[in-house]
Chains A and B, each alone.
Chain A
Amino acid sequence: MITVTLHHFVLVSFGLVAAGVACMVTKRNAIGILMGVELVLNAAALNFVAFNRFHPWDPTGPAPLDGFIFAMFIIVLAAAEAAIALAIILNLYNNLASVDVDKAREMKG
């Protein structure tokens, strides 16, 4: 059986990042774009945890936790950013009666 190595986790992270970028670029719905951003952030956090897990460490010392803590902060910041993005989308909907980003052509509120 193949041992699961760092390459496999990084490949999963690649798949997520590519899907997130494709989602951000092709979606017309503003919430769809937000979902693409969430996918990219998840991919980055998975990358951090995978590299943290496979980092060489001295077995007599404490286990490394840096990537782990980074991933926790990524989750915190992604939740905060999703809240702000949804508040902006609600304002967009109130002004335009639609969440289609093609209709948002003016900067003036």
Chain B
Amino acid sequence: MTLAEAHPVTRVAPVLFLALAALTVASAWAIVASPNIVRMATYLLLTLTGVAGMYFMLGAELLAAVQLIVYAGGTLILIVFGVMLTASNPGLVLKPCGWEWAAGLTVAGAMAVLLVLALIHTPLIWGYEGTVPVVSSMEGYGQVASVGRALLSDYLVAFEVSGVLLLVVMIGAAYMARKRGGIKGVAQS
């Protein structure tokens, strides 16, 4: 008996995967289709949550938690702040005109076709036949201890450099977004 047969939880995986994948991709395309910026932010939240669900399915639990905390709970809130701070007219809807839609979707469609062809013609089978081994067989995979050990040993330089980068980004963003004395070009009522 293989590990996949001994652990029946892998049998519900296709249904769960299909639900999460449908949620993620549908929300992503809803962002493209929606003209209202606040609705786009909501669909982005759904997409990020769907991606976090896919991380859980892949056994990357720490990464899924980090995705929910940092991405959905931090970056998305920052984007919503940006939306609210730059809302000059609540009813204003910035829609691209017809030929812009055609050009944009042609570019995206051509890229999608290229990627699908690349996927079909690339052998992705390495010898495990692409099946999912049960998570519990990978001891410490994706858990906090092993990730912490890897960050502080193999990826120490990248870890420290990203700390410095975050400091620089904070200072730079705070400096760039400082208040300079009002909005030019908007009549003060």
With A3-B14, A49-B55 as known contacts, state yes or no: A79 contacts B75, CB within 8 Å. yes
Beta-carbon contact of A84 and B116 below 8 Å: no
With A4-B17, A87-B173, A91-B177 as known contacts, state yes or no: A25 contacts B166, CB within 8 Å. no
List residues of chain A with CB within 8 A of the CB of B162.
73, 76-77
Residues of B contacting A: mostly: helix
With A7-B119, A39-B47 as known contacts, state yes or no: A21 contacts B66, CB within 8 Å. no
Report the count of interface residues on A (CB-CB < 8 A).
77
List chain B positions with a Cβ less than 8 A from chain A.
10-11, 13-14, 17, 21, 24-25, 28-29, 31-32, 37, 40-41, 44, 47-48, 51, 54-55, 57-60, 63, 66-67, 70-71, 74-75, 78-79, 81-83, 85-86, 88, 94-96, 100-101, 103-105, 107-109, 111-112, 115-116, 119, 124, 126-132, 137-142, 146-147, 150-151, 154-155, 158, 162, 165-166, 169-170, 172-174, 176-177, 180, 183-186
